[in-house]
Structure 1
Amino acid sequence: MAGHRIFSTSFASIYPLYVTKVERKGHTRDEVDTVIRWLTGYDDAGLAEVVADGSDMETFFARAPRMNPDASLITGVICGLRVEDVEDPLMQQIRWMDKLVDEVARGKKMTSILRGSGTASV
């Protein structure tokens, strides 16, 4: 999947879509931020910076302070694909993030979404 157009899409254009999705289902921006921080290690200032500077998805993940080692526990289907079977590492990271946001929107408990860690910081 090298060169997929999502790789060059700005995180700033995707982020508000995530927020809108969860807010439509009665959840909050803070919950979106929590799962993104858990996955990537960004803090609030780091998230604000990547939104402001227009970083594309490839850069967003390349600059992530730390990918959570428990991310490999994220399983299930998103966009018709099993996230654990996605071969391209960047596409898998994007699909992990999609899956986490989807779980927030569906109202799954945060401790379950964060794969039992119960916290955004590790």
Structure 2
Amino acid sequence: MKVTPEHNERIAKMTFASVYPHYITKVEKKGRTKEELLQVIEWLTGYNEIKLQEFIDEKATFKTFFEKATLNTNAHLIKGVICGYRIEEIDNTLTQQVRFLDKLVDELARGRKMEKILR
């Protein structure tokens, strides 16, 4: 599936605060913990729980969230399909970074071992 400019714009304007509760629900429903989710997010972005709360309080967009992030040097190893898109084929950097996060949350919820998730 090809990512459209409209899709990229929608993702850029979406707030982290609007998606984060869904991440928590998804992983907890599958028997994982919020602490594990925080570990995955920190591995990808460098953000700790306090910094995440600041983004939530500010209602920061994903554009701002990822502009300020220090992406893990192994993030390029995140591959596969998420939401119908092959991550490694997404040409918009921001959309690809959001899908990296989606993929890690999905892997956590599916019960993948932490050492495999944190490549």
Q: Same fold (TM over 0.5)?
A: yes
State the number of aligned residues. Answer: 114
The reply on whether 1:105 has 2:109 as its aligned counterpart is yes
Paired residue for 2:60?
55
- Which runs of 5 or more structure 1 residues have no equivalent in the other structure? 116-122
The reply on whether 1:12 has 2:17 as its aligned counterpart is yes
Give the alignment of 1:1-122 within 5 angstroms: 1-2=4-5, 3-64=8-69, 66-115=70-119
In the TM superposition, what is the alpha-carbon distance from 1:4 to its structure 2 partner? 2.2
Q: Deviations over 1:40-78 (max 9, x none)?
A: 0112211111111100110000111x1101000001110
In the TM superposition, what is the alpha-carbon distance from 1:6 to its structure 2 partner? 1.7
- Which runs of 5 or more structure 2 residues have no equivalent in the other structure? none
| One-letter amino acid of the structure 1 residue matched with residue 24 of structure 2 | V
| One-letter amino acid of the structure 2 residue matched with residue 33 of structure 1 | L
Q: What is the alpha-carbon distance in structure 2 between the residues aligned to residue 9 and residue 70 of structure 1?
A: 25
Q: What is the alpha-carbon distance in structure 2 between the residues aligned to residue 22 and residue 75 of structure 1?
A: 20
Among the aligned pairs, what percent are the same residue? 51
Please report the RMSD computed on the Cα atoms of aligned residues, expressed in angstroms.
Answer: 1.0
Structure 1 moving runs of 4+ over 2 Å: 1-4
Question: Normalised by the size of structure 1, how large is the TM-score?
Answer: 0.89
- Flag the structure with higher helix content: 2
